[in-house]
Amino acid sequence: MDSLLITGGNRLKGTISVNGSKNAALPIMAASILTEGETVLKGVPQLEDIRHLSALLEKLGVNVSRDEKGGLHLKVEDEMNCHAEYELVRKMRASVCVMGPLLAKRRRAQVSLPGGCNIGDRPVDLHIQGFQCLGAESDLVGGDIHLKAKKLKGTEMFLGGPFGSTVLGTANVLMAATLAEGTTVIESAACEPEVIDLANYLNACGARIVGQGTPRITVEGVKELHGCEHTVIPDRIEAGTFMMAAAITNGDVIINNCRLDHLMAVVDRLRAVGVNVERKGDGVQVSSSRRLEPVSVTTQPYPGFPTDLQAQIMALLCLADGNSIITEKIFPDRFVHVAELNRMGARLRKEGPTVIVEGVKNLVGAPVMASDLRASAALVVAGLVAKGKTKVSRVYHIDRGYERIEQRLATLGAEIQRVPE
């Protein structure tokens, strides 16, 4: 098991490019189960989560390979197996996305309840509710969700939950509805760019979907889908993480392949902090002054501030000149990183779904432990500016969502290396 060893204090400067979106690529990969012929995906990063889902798809009869240019090729070769087993699903929550395609194409699915990051309770009840609306029968046996349907029929449904719309739930039901008979209307659908990218991919495969990017998506069912070539959108969470890294080190970084329109809530808060964010070609230039203003941040469904950047902006606000307030409205328990940042000299106080951030003059390097993917990124961001050395253990968490992060940050001047435990 590896760790990241960071010597803080270096100002980041230079140019870095954002990879394709992990959260867009995973459901699109699962959607290949629906298609006849080959799908070629461009821009898919080489991450642990991508490898885990590739292994699961292989078990489900999908041939997965990469070409010499990095393109990901997927083609269904065997439709017999419909069981996504626990040993593969437990490693990654997005594995649950195979439910919709399996149910729609093979009329049955047996999927273990998913694993993933330790960020609080994330039930799949809305997924099941959507499948039932389409006419599926469901049961829970031995930790596996069993779904079956002789025929899926389009209908109107509401997919809102206690914390807003469900991104994976919308993706799952959307995929199932493409092959359902008739028209499906999904109300309170997730509006995230990753859902739009999935819908655009499915339309390129022959689906009839309109309304993606709005709370009301309409799907006209078709008889079959074919493979296609598709380029995955840039990863807005990776881009936001690099923005925080540039800002906290008083850096000056150009971030290419960055969709600014996907990050307007983040840009708004960064500018309020005193960070300069300017459009530059197909990306942005991020720089900051030495004084950071305190702000209030509330995570919300898109287009609000993303929960996947909450930990990273918390690291940045540790050095603001005053008290900031961060409220988590998506996963109220997503604060495991608070204790680790406090080990580095931060002054953070959790009160229910809110953390009070009392700004300090500097952070101090310390051995810290990653608890989930985005918390790992926050500890790396903090380590870049902390005095002395920071050792981030359990780096496998960060490998799930960031490709070779230590090498890429090193090109900007960071003193960071991967070391064995």
Residue-wise pLDDT tens digits, 286-332: 999 779 999 999 999 999 999 999 999 999 999 999 999 999 999 88
Q: Right CATH number for 2-19+235-420 from 3.65.10.10, 3.40.50.1820, 3.40.640.10, 3.40.462.20?
A: 3.65.10.10
Tell me the whole-structure pTM to 2 decimals: 0.95
Bridge partners, 256 (sequence order)? 17
Residues of the chain within CATH 3.65.10.10 domain(s) are 2-19+235-420, 22-231
Q: Please report the DSSP string for 173-194 in residue order.
A: HHHHHTTSBSEEEEET----HH
Q: Annotated catalytic, 318?
A: no
**Catalytic residue selected from 117, 205, 258, 318:** 117
Give, for all 421 residues of the chain, the pLDDT tens digit: 899 999 999 999 999 999 999 999 999 999 999 999 999 999 999 999 999 999 999 999 999 999 999 999 999 999 999 999 988 888 787 889 999 999 999 999 999 987 544 434 457 899 999 999 999 999 999 889 999 999 999 999 999 988 778 999 999 999 999 999 999 999 999 999 999 999 999 999 999 999 999 999 999 999 999 999 999 999 999 999 999 999 999 999 999 999 999 999 999 999 999 999 999 989 999 999 779 999 999 999 999 999 999 999 999 999 999 999 999 999 888 999 999 999 999 999 999 999 999 999 999 999 999 888 899 999 999 999 999 999 999 998 999 999 999 999 999 999 999 999 7
Which fold is adopted by the domain 22-231? UDP-n-acetylglucosamine1-carboxyvinyl-transferase; Chain (3.65.10)
Q: Which residues contact 339 (CB under 8 A, 6 or more apart)?
A: none
